[in-house]
């Protein structure tokens, strides 16, 4: 069985501007793939190419076994798309919106009604079916949009910054819904600039300035791009401790982090040596192990790329 | 066959959604039905070249019974009202300057004498030429009235007016007005609603579905076409009822002319929205591109024959002139397809062209 998405040396220019250049990756079936990057890094351009909204200027993308440049119509039947820009009609009710987009996918009659009932139950908005979509809170609108993109049971779900501007609780709920769909067999391609959202993804592609600069699972990325061990030194005087540790060559990074200092040190520096070093500088400090975050990866990779 | 059914089904889904938008948005219904009636009433009553109690000064140097009869005869139809009887020519000029009079009748001494001998009787009509349209109307009316009174016409040529014997402005205006309000409403409605969908990203989402461009265009067009035809019916009823405009020709032909015109105007609105993709810009371009051609390049207010040739070429592109021509033909003259087919062909050509370009411009290429 081939991959859900195969992207080979993909590029897109707007005039002289390279929005996406030489990007290669693939997404396995049933995987949640996170496409991570700052605004303007080329995430939206990539997802638009994959959905057939934009033609690539170089390279090739195969989505659901169809070439997006040659047969975008075949792609469209197999995918669901949901954008950061809320794109349902705010003046229509939830039901009318679903009716319309279901119709756009060629669903009608009893089958359409059943599908609408099913997705409303899935996203937990059955009671809101006759509410005007624009009057719902942001998180609920996002869930309606998700339900909308699921009406025709797509093989691949494209979510373009789906939770932008939504509160953390709604975001978690939303991601739980996405995960449930993935477990049921759908492939999910999700762009985001929230690092915690990327942790929900099985694999992550990291974009910077139009290039794919890192690719792998969260653990792989951390191991590859954030060498060393990460520790947290709790202290009452974090600023002084950071200033004292930062210049040392075996300390790769030191940041104040709440009531402590987050340290990334060379693996050669043993825990006991570090402990005595820290207590010598600050008697109140205590060390505890911490984990590298995607933030560290992001910082390491983008400084390297710049 | 199955593909066609699917396409029709998707088109119907788009049309049904559009109807929901229309019914839910009172401003759409106002634009379609309220504004045209307001415009027709405003134009119909406000814009009139008919004379009504035009202020007339009379300088009677003859002072005979015949000369007094002549002066009185001008006021008989209420087109003129004698506001002053100055003693000399300077008095007339003063009245013109102060705008108290817009026309003057000068009857020289010897008027009755000449008339008795059967010679040309000297009568002079002076006009305030600063208002050109008014002056023309006064001139026409005064010469007619004077000629009727004296019996021997002071002008040689006589014109007989057909179709609009009283030369009432409304009869001439209403067909133009119908085209005008239909053009504005059709172009603005489509330009605005579709531009809004570009702005909100609705169309982008729609483009990720299997819906085709032509399906979107046709699905959008159909409900607004229905709305436009209802509007045409309303405007026609109001126009003919309020201003006594006759309907001498075939209503079926009228329906087809309106249909062709509307498709062109809706296509123009779609094209504008697809090119501008912003509500603000679409409103401006839509208003100007519908208003100016129907008002100026259509024969509504100014005869096309008198325009410089580049404007005549433009006038031949915009369908407003064909529609107004067809409307006047059908309503006033009772003309049939044999005479009006070039108008219908002109409108059809525009409609096909503009729809084709609009469909092409409805590209998926969202930046």
Report the pLDDT averaged over residues A79-100: 88
Q: Do B209 and A92 touch (CB under 8 A)?
A: no
Binned at pLDDT 50, 70 and 90, residue A168 comes out as confident
Distance CA B137, CA B210 (A): 62
Beta bridge partners of A233: A261, A287
Residue A155, pLDDT above cutoff 70:
yes
Distance CA B320, CA A84 (A): 43
User: Using H for helix, E for strand and C for coil, what is the string for B323-352?
Assistant: HHHHHHHHHHHCCCHHHHHHHHHHHHHHHH
Reported as a single tens digit per residue, the pLDDT across A174-202 is 999 999 999 999 999 999 888 888 888 99
Q: Give the CB-side neighbour count of residue B244, counting CA atoms within 13 A.
A: 7
In the numeric block, the tokens 């590298």 are attached to A292
Distance CA B103, CA B92 (A): 9
Q: Which of A87, A96, A108 sits opposite B204 (nearest CB)?
A: A87
User: Using H for helix, E for strand and C for coil, what is the string for A16-82?
Assistant: CEEEEEEEEEEECCCCEEEEEECCCCCHHHHHHHHCCCCCCCEEEEEECCEECCCCHHHHHHHEEEE
Q: Which of B209, B365, B367 sits opposite A105 (nearest CB)?
A: B209
Residue A245, pLDDT above cutoff 90:
no
Residue A109, pLDDT above cutoff 70:
yes
ipTM greater than 0.95: no
In the numeric block, the tokens 């039947």 are attached to A77
Is any Cβ of chain A less than 8 angstroms from the Cβ of B363? no
| DSSP 8-state code for residue B32 | I
Q: Which domains does chain B have, with CATH numbers?
A: 2-47+168-361 (no CATH), 54-150 (3.40.1710.10)
Reported as a single tens digit per residue, the pLDDT across B112-143 is 888 777 777 777 777 776 665 666 777 777 77
Binned at pLDDT 50, 70 and 90, residue B2 comes out as confident
Is any Cβ of chain A less than 8 angstroms from the Cβ of B201? yes
Residue B211, pLDDT above cutoff 60:
yes
Task: Report the percentage of chain A scoring pLDDT > 70.
Answer: 97
Q: Do A91 and B25 touch (CB under 8 A)?
A: yes
Distance CA A108, CA A115 (A): 10
Size of interface A-B (CB pairs under 8 A): 89
Reported as a single tens digit per residue, the pLDDT across B66-98 is 888 888 877 777 778 888 888 888 888 888 878
Residue A121, pLDDT above cutoff 80:
yes
Helix (H) or strand (E) holding A191: strand A187-192
Mean pLDDT across chain B: 83
Q: Tokens representing B89? A: 């020519």
* Chain B residues inside the 8 Å CB shell of A104: 10, 13-14, 206, 209-211
Is residue B45 a contact partner of residue B251, using CB atoms and an 8 Å limit?
no
Is any Cβ of chain A less than 8 angstroms from the Cβ of B12? yes
Residue B165, pLDDT above cutoff 70:
no
Q: Return the pLDDT at B166.
A: 53
Residue B52, pLDDT above cutoff 70:
yes
Q: Return the pLDDT at B152.
A: 53
Distance CA B80, CA B129 (A): 17
Distance CA B323, CA A10 (A): 52
* Chain B residues inside the 8 Å CB shell of A101: 205-206, 209
Which residue ranges does chain A devote to CATH 3.40.50.300? 5-216
Q: Which fold has domain A5-216?
A: Rossmann fold (3.40.50)
State the nearest Cα–Cα gap between B270 and chain A, in angstroms: 19
Distance CA B330, CA B256 (A): 12
Residue of B5, B6, B13 to mutate, interface with A, max A Cβ within 10 Å: B13
Give A228-293's CATH code, choosing from 3.30.70.100, 3.30.200.20, 1.20.1630.10, 3.90.1150.10: 3.30.70.100
State the nearest Cα–Cα gap between B19 and chain A, in angstroms: 11
Q: Do A85 and B6 touch (CB under 8 A)?
A: no
Q: Return the pLDDT at A267.
A: 77
State the nearest Cα–Cα gap between A28 and chain B, in angstroms: 21
Give burial (CB, 10 Å; 0-12/13-18/19+) of A188. Answer: buried
Q: Which of B16, B24, B205 sits opposite A91 (nearest CB)?
A: B24
* Chain B residues inside the 8 Å CB shell of A91: 21, 24-25
Q: Do B200 and A85 touch (CB under 8 A)?
A: yes
Residue of A93, A103, A162 to mutate, interface with B, max B Cβ within 10 Å: A103
Q: Do A101 and B14 touch (CB under 8 A)?
A: no
pTM: 0.76
H helical segments located in chain B = 2-24, 26-29, 35-46, 65-75, 89-97, 111-117, 132-150, 169-200, 202-207, 213-243, 251-276, 279-296, 309-317, 320-328, 337-361
Q: Which of B6, B14, B210 sits opposite A76 (nearest CB)?
A: B210
CB atoms closer than 10 angstroms to residue A123: 21
Q: Return the pLDDT at B161.
A: 46
Helix (H) or strand (E) holding A169: helix A168-183
Q: Return the pLDDT at A86.
A: 63
State the nearest Cα–Cα gap between A276 and chain B, in angstroms: 57
Q: Do A87 and B202 touch (CB under 8 A)?
A: yes
Reported as a single tens digit per residue, the pLDDT across A203-229 is 999 998 899 999 999 888 888 888 778
Q: Tokens representing A243? A: 């200033």
Q: Tokens representing A208? A: 């910077």
State the nearest Cα–Cα gap between B258 and chain A, in angstroms: 30
In the numeric block, the tokens 């013109």 are attached to B96
Which residue ranges does chain A devote to CATH 3.30.70.100? 228-293
Helix (H) or strand (E) holding A102: helix A94-104
* Chain B residues inside the 8 Å CB shell of A19: none
Distance CA A226, CA A216 (A): 13
Q: Which of A72, A108, A158 sits opposite B9 (nearest CB)?
A: A108
Q: Return the pLDDT at A278.
A: 84
CB proximity list for A219: less than 8 A, separation 6 or greater: none
């Amino acid at each position: 069985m081939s991959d859900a998405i195969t992207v080979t040396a993909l590029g897109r220019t707007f005039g002289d501007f390279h929005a996406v250049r030489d990007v290669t990756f693939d997404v396995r079936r049933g995987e949640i793939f996170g496409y991570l990057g700052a605004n303007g890094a080329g995430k939206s351009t990539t997802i638009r190419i994959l959905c057939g909204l934009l033609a690539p200027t170089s390279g090739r993308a195969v989505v659901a076994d169809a070439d997006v440049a040659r047969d975008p119509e075949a792609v469209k039947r197999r995918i669901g798309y949901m954008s950061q820009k809320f794109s349902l009609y705010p003046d229509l009710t939830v039901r009318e919106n679903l009716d319309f987009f279901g119709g756009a996918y060629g669903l009608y009659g009893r089958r359409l009604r059943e599908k609408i009932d099913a997705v409303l139950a899935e996203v937990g908005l059955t009671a809101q079916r006759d509410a005007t979509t624009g009057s719902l809170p942001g998180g609920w609108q996002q869930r309606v949009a998700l339900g909308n993109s699921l009406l025709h049971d797509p093989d691949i779900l494209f979510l373009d910054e789906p939770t932008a501007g939504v509160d953390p609780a709604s975001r978690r709920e939303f991601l739980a819904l996405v995960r449930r769909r993935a477990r049921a067999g759908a492939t999910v391609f999700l762009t985001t600039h929230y690092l915690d959202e990327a942790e929900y993804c099985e694999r992550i592609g990291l974009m910077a300035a139009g290039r794919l600069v890192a690719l792998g699972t969260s653990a792989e990325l951390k191991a590859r791009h954030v060498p060393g061990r990460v520790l947290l030194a709790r202290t009452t005087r974090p600023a002084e401790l950071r200033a004292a540790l930062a210049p040392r060559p075996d300390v790769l990074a030191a940041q104040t982090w709440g009531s402590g200092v987050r340290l990334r040190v060379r693996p050669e520096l043993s825990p006991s040596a570090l402990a005595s070093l820290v207590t010598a500088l600050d008697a109140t400090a205590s060390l505890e192990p911490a984990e590298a975050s995607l933030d560290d990866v992001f910082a390491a990779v983008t400084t390297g790329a710049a | 066959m199955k593909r066609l059914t699917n396409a029709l089904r998707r088109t119907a889904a788009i049309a049904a959604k559009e109807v929901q938008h229309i019914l839910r948005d009172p401003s759409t219904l106002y634009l379609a039905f309220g504004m045209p009636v307001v415009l027709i009433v405003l134009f119909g009553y406000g814009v009139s070249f008919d004379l009504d109690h035009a202020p007339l000064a009379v300088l009677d140097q003859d002072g005979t019974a015949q000369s007094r009869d002549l002066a009185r005869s001008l006021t008989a139809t209420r087109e003129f009202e004698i506001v002053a009887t100055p003693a000399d020519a300077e008095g007339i000029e003063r009245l013109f300057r102060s705008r108290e009079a817009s026309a003057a009748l000068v009857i020289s001494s010897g008027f009755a004498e000449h008339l008795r001998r059967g010679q040309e009787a000297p009568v002079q009509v002076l006009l305030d030429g600063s208002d050109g349209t008014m002056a023309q109307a006064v001139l026409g009316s005064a010469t007619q009235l004077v000629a009727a009174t004296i019996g021997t016409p002071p002008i040689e040529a006589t014109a007989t007016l057909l179709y609009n014997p009283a030369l009432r402005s409304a009869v001439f205006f209403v067909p133009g007005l119908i085209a005008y309000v239909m053009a504005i409403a059709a172009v603005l409605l489509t330009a605005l609603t579709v531009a809004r969908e570009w702005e909100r990203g609705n169309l982008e989402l729609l483009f990720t579905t299997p819906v085709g461009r032509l399906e979107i265009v046709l699905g959008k067009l159909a409900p607004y076409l229905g709305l436009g035809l209802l509007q045409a019916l309303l405007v026609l009823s109001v126009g003919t009822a309020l201003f006594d405009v006759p309907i001498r020709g075939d209503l079926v032909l009228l329906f087809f002319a309106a249909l062709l015109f509307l498709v062109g105007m809706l296509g123009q609105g779609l094209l504008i929205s697809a090119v501008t993709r912003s509500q603000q810009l679409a409103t401006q371009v839509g208003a100007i591109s519908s208003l100016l051609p129907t008002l100026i390049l259509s024969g509504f207010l100014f005869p096309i024959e008198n325009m410089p040739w580049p404007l005549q070429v433009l006038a031949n592109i915009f369908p407003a002139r064909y529609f107004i021509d067809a409307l006047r033909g059908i309503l006033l003259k009772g003309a049939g397809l044999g005479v009006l087919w070039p108008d219908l062909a002109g409108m059809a050509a525009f409609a096909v062209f503009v729809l084709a370009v609009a469909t092409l411009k409805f590209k998926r290429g969202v930046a």
